[in-house]
Amino acid sequence: MITDKGVAVPEDMAAVLESDQGALDAFQSLRPDDQRVYVNWVGAGHGPDGRKDRLAGLGEHVKAYQRRPAEEHGSAHPLLDV
């Protein structure tokens, strides 16, 4: 699956998202860099069991995600020259 924003999503991850319309809508609304973070996070699951565990909780995780501004957690804003 390729998201509306052009991010390639593995087939197993796409199947999980497509099985839950709310999760799919939430994922599609994310910025492309946030979508890639999820793709990498699922891919970084340790072994097949780790990946399955991450896929099992993916829908709820994506629906609960809220982006925090960089300043909120003490990081400099990534687009400002410091």
Residue 5 lies in a domain: no
Residue 6 lies in a domain: no
Question: What distance in Å separates the CA atoms of residue 57 and residue 50, rounded to the nearest whole number?
Answer: 11
Position 69 scores a pLDDT of 61
Q: How many domains does the chain have?
A: 1
Question: What distance in Å separates the CA atoms of residue 22 and residue 75, rounded to the nearest whole number?
Answer: 31
Residue 76 lies in a domain: no
pLDDT per position as a tens digit, 6-35: 999 999 999 999 999 999 999 999 999 999
What is the span of the domain harbouring residue 19? 11-66
- pTM beyond 0.85: no
Q: State mean pLDDT over 40-65.
A: 90
